[in-house]
């Protein structure tokens, strides 16, 4: 822990003298509050913290490892700043703030960032809203111009029309993410019972639908004026930039924005329950779910760390008590315990998805959970419990420093909620100092025999499965008057410069792809790697050619089930013992599979690589293949499939693949399998597939690490004993003839939304040929946020939360697809707009402006491609899998910048023929079929 303490010591030593040393170099009025430096050999986040006269806090973190910058503006306002009956404002503002401001035109925020080669988004939770962009480093000034304009000049551009469109978008988001999802409404109903009426967390972040309907434009304006001032915001910039130039820009663009009303911290009072509350709901689900929670403390309370450790012991994975008593014994398909904390309150939360094969009765599940709590009291806390959580917390902290965005998010979060960006050391200390007595004390104080909320979610018509009859009914909501005290009439800012002029980008950064090395193990397994010194970590993936594609159709799901078995017991140790060993290392080893590959993913701190690789070898070469493990995993997969049948997106994906590839091809059947195929799989099938798939001849390895090539190759020597020849994929079944221009409907009664998919079989992957060029062609149509399809269906019509189109290609085949989840009542209208946009684009092609936008966005976006170990690994895997040149991205950039509009438009005419595409709609057939038939298309009902 000394390295973390050192960072704090340096911070303290420098903070006192920093002002005198650098004040003369700062823009007028800007104050340096703190400097934190970290020695090169240490781990931490160096930064400088400033404040503008208007109260804006500015944090700068320099990282020159990649030519990019990440900009984050966090406002200390979330749904907790709202009032009962006036919910959803903070989240609505997350949407509204992308709709242009006084000097930024409608829809131009997304366009500007995307055209600059960047990515952007915003998020809202109970306690804060943040907006962020990652862009090439030469685009920083432009981002500050954008962010400052919506902070200081948003209201003059706010119109009734924009308000109404975004209100519809939020309703669509709610329909897609809550109303149309299994268990989607559980959280908001649970919180009504958990928190007192009127508590800031008793309503959902997205808002109650009736509250959104009730809101008017004046309400929205007052909410903005109250909370979105610079004195309630933190601007954090990380990446490759000149510090003094950045400060000058910050002062120029943000300095003249006046402070908003004074913001006081909300009072933190512990939530309590007078007695246990039982609630229940029926839902369109297969698996009954029991959720239990106890009120505890609030974020960074002195008891938070001990409660986190307690939750890990009770339900943190395969070594936990709940796993042993519920999942391993087959009573639950999943179970877990967590202790999520928010600024004002935490929940000690427990859940279990009951296994219908064991009856699915939630009263029995509750009884077993209570028995597990009693078992913990008798068992107590072990030394291993303490060590495990501390190791995991340290490892997760280090992994969180792998990206500039991760570091910026950490700094912004800590500043917003603690007033101190530098909380890494103190957070580590909190966990390092937890004792066994602390854990037992918080158990006694907050959990043992304490009132709780118990919620049962059961399939429709099966209320006999609930744990207990309801004992609580939420009181009727009251509607609060919007508070406008202290809010002055909006005053137009007289800017000292012309804000209508968008800043020009600086000189383009030099883009360099990672330096790669290629080696082989003694048994000829290819290894490709790159050295990354930003964190002392190793990300390693063993890929095995085959996966679901290697499996006979009548055994679909076998690749995944075999991978799951390799995550279980070995001949030497049980699943629990292996899980414990990994937890004590802070490492992850996960076997899995996909359409064309099986894989082993390894994440570890470099210092623990040898011990982690020993576990990889043990699981890979010495699987136990116990019948008991197999029976449990097979039953879990069957129940999981039944559960996924409640998800409209899974239904749409499965049915669409079936239409394109047919039921005789593995590509036309879900890699998760079907109820019939999973039921037919035996343990002998798993053993046979293991021998076929997990052999050295099928394997290739990718690794990103701070170690050199020779060091990595040496540490992988244990895999040199692996043997076996490569296998060839079986021939693909004959593909079905697509009935182009036809609409297929898959009925999902009562669905709040319809999932629309339009598409056809298309090109296999290639990096520089027609597939890549088709990607460029589609970009203005459906590949960017401000594409024609999304702007029409989401921004103009308010039919959906998002719509897009794309090409996806693999080794053998590819697909072109346009898709969206739309409101049920506008299904036919949305389909008409999809068709209109695709037809128009095919006939007329892209415009000169769209061509320029595509070129700028795609080529400049390369600066963001290699930042994280995950991105570097993906880049190398493409080279390895498709045998590409190391400089293929440079070739792509040349194509992007030179391809003509005529060539792209010819591709549009070739690839976007709607007569060759099928249309699938998953939705409530009774309410949508008549309108669809009225469009004149042939319609067929599908059965799964």
Q: Where are the alpha helices (DSSP H) in 136-282?
A: 140-152, 160-174, 186-194, 209-214, 217-227, 243-254
What does the DSSP assignment read for 308-363? HHHHHHHHSSTTSHHIIIIITTTSEEEEEEE--B-SS-BEEEEEEEE-GGGT--HH
pLDDT for 533: 85
Whole-angstrom CA distances from 659 to 662, 735, 760 are 6, 10, 9
What span, in angstroms and rounded, lies between the C-alpha atoms of 272 and 452?
Answer: 9
What span, in angstroms and rounded, lies between the C-alpha atoms of 869 and 531?
Answer: 10
Task: List, for the chain, all residue ranges whose pLDDT scores fall below the cut of 70.
Answer: 1-24, 41-43, 481-490
> What is the 8-class DSSP label of residue 466?
S
What torsion do the CA atoms of 461, 464, 469, 473 make, to the nearest 10 degrees?
Answer: -10
Long-range contacts of 40-44 (CB under 8 A, 24+ apart): 41/3, 42/3, 42/4, 42/6, 42/7, 43/3, 43/4, 43/398, 43/401, 43/535, 43/536, 44/3, 44/4, 44/7, 44/422, 44/424, 44/425
Residue corresponding to tokens 């089930």? 561
Torsions phi, psi for 197 (to 5 deg)? -55, 135
User: Length of the chain, please?
Assistant: 944
Picking from 758, 855, 137, the residue whose alpha carbon sits closest to that of residue 506 is 137
Regarding pTM above 0.85, the answer is yes
Element (H, E) at 120: strand 119-124
pLDDT for 65: 87
Strand order in the sheet with 289-295: 277-283, 453-459, 289-295, 347-354, 332-338
* Sequence-distant (≥ 6) Cβ neighbours of residue 664 within 8 angstroms: 553, 733, 734
**Domains in the chain, CATH or no CATH each:** 42-254 (3.30.830.10), 277-465 (3.30.830.10), 516-721 (3.30.830.10), 743-942 (3.30.830.10)
Q: Where are the alpha helices (DSSP H) in 811-847?
A: 827-844
pLDDT for 181: 87
Picking from 717, 393, 709, the residue whose alpha carbon sits closest to that of residue 532 is 709
What span, in angstroms and rounded, lies between the C-alpha atoms of 124 and 90?
Answer: 7
């Amino acid at each position: 822990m000394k390295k973390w303490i050192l960072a704090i010591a340096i911070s303290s030593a420098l903070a006192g003298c920093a002002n005198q040393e650098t004040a003369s170099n700062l823009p007028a009025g800007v104050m340096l509050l703190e400097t934190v430096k970290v020695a090169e050999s240490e781990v931490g986040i160096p930064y400088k913290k400033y404040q503008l006269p208007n109260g804006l806090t500015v944090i700068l973190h320099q990282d020159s490892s990649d030519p990019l910058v990440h900009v984050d503006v966090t406002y200390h306002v979330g749904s907790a700043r709202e009032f009962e009956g006036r919910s959803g404002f903070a989240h609505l503002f997350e949407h509204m703030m992308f709709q242009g401001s006084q000097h930024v035109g409608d829809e131009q925020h997304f366009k500007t960032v995307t055209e600059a080669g960047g990515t952007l988004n915003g998020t809202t939770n109970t306690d804060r809203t943040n907006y962020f962009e990652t862009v090439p480093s030469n685009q920083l000034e432009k981002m500050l111009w954008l962010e400052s304009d919506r902070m200081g000049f948003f209201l003059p551009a706010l119109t009734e029309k924009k308000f109404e469109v975004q209100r519809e978008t939020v309703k669509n988001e709610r329909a897609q993410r809550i109303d149309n999802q299994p268990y989607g409404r559980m959280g908001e109903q649970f919180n009504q019972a958990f928190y007192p009426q009127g508590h800031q967390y008793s309503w959902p972040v997205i808002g109650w639908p009736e509250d959104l309907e009730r809101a008017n434009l004046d309400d929205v304006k007052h909410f903005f004026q109250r909370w979105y001032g610079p004195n309630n915001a933190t601007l954090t910039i990380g990446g490759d930039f000149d510090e003094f130039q950045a400060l000058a820009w910050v002062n120029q663009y943000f300095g003249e924005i006046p402070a908003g009303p004074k913001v006081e911290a909300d009072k933190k009072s512990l939530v309590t329950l007078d007695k246990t509350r039982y609630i229940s709901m029926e839902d369109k689900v297969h698996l009954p779910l029991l959720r239990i929670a106890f009120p505890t403390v609030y974020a960074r309370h002195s008891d938070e760390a001990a409660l986190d450790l307690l939750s890990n012991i009770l339900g943190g994975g395969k070594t936990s008590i709940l796993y042993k008593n519920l999942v391993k014994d087959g009573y639950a398909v999943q179970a877990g315990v967590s202790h999520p904390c928010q600024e004002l309150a935490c929940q000690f939360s427990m859940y279990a998805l009951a296994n219908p094969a064991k009856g699915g009765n939630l009263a029995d599940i509750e009884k077993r959970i209570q028995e597990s709590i009693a078992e913990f009291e008798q068992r107590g806390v072990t030394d291993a419990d303490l060590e495990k959580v501390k190791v995991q917390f340290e490892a997760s902290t280090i992994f969180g420093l792998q990206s500039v965005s991760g570091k910026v998010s950490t700094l912004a979060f800590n500043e917003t909620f603690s007033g101190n960006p530098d909380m890494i050391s103190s957070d580590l200390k909190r966990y390092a100092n937890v004792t066994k007595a602390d854990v037992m004390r918080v158990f006694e104080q907050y959990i043992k025999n304490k009132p709780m909320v118990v919620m049962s979610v059961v399939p429709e018509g099966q209320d006999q499965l609930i744990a207990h009859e309801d004992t609580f009914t939420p009181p009727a909501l009251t509607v609060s008057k919007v508070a406008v005290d202290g809010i002055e009439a909006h005053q137009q800012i007289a800017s000292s410069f012309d804000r209508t002029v968008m800043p020009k980008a600086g000189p383009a950064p030099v883009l360099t792809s990672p330096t790669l090395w290629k080696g082989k193990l003694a048994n000829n397994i290819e290894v490709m790697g790159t050295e990354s010194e930003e964190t002392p970590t190793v990300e390693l993936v063993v890929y095995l050619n085959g996966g679901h594609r290697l499996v006979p159709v009548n055994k679909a799901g076998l690749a995944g089930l075999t991978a799951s078995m390799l995550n279980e017991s070995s001949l030497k140790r049980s699943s629990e013992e292996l899980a414990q060993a990994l937890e004590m290392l802070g490492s992850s080893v996960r076997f899995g599979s996909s359409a064309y590959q099986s894989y082993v993913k390894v994440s570890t701190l470099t210092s623990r690589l040898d011990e982690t690789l020993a576990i990889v070898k043990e699981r890979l070469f010495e699987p136990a293949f116990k019948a008991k493990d197999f029976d449990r995993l097979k039953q879990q997969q069957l129940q999981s499939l039944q559960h996924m049948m409640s998800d409209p997106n899974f239904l749409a994906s499965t049915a669409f693949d079936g239409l394109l590839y047919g039921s005789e091809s593995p590509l036309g059947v879900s890699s998760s399998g079907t109820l019939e195929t999973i039921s037919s799989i035996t343990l002998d099938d798993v053993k046979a597939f293991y021998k076929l798939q997990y052999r050295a001849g099928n394997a290739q390895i990718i690794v990103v690490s701070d170690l050199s090539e020779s060091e990595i190759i040496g540490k992988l020597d244990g895999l040199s004993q692996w043997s076996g020849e490569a296998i060839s994929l079986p021939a693909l079944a004959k593909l079905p003839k697509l009935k182009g221009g036809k609409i297929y409907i898959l009925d999902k009664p009562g669905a709040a939304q319809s999932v629309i998919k339009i598409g056809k079989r298309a090109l296999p992957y290639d990096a520089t040929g027609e597939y890549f060029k088709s990607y460029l062609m589609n970009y203005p149509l459906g590949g960017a946020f401000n594409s024609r399809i999304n702007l029409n269906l989401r921004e103009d019509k308010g039919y959906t939360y998002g719509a897009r189109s794309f090409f996806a290609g693999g080794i053998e085949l590819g697909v072109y697809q346009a898709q969206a989840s739309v409101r049920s009542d506008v299904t036919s209208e949305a389909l008409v707009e999809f068709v209109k946009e695709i037809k128009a684009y095919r006939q007329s092609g892209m415009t000169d402006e769209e061509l320029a936008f595509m070129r700028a966005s795609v080529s400049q976006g390369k600066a963001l491609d290699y930042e994280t170990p995950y991105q570097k690994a993906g880049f190398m895997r493409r080279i390895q899998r498709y045998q590409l040149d190391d400089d293929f991205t440079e070739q792509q950039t040349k194509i992007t910048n030179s391809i003509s509009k005529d060539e792209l438009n010819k591709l549009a005419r070739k690839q976007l023929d709607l007569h060759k595409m099928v249309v699938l709609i998953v939705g409530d057939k009774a309410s949508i079929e008549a309108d669809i038939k009225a469009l004149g298309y042939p319609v067929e009902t599908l059965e799964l």
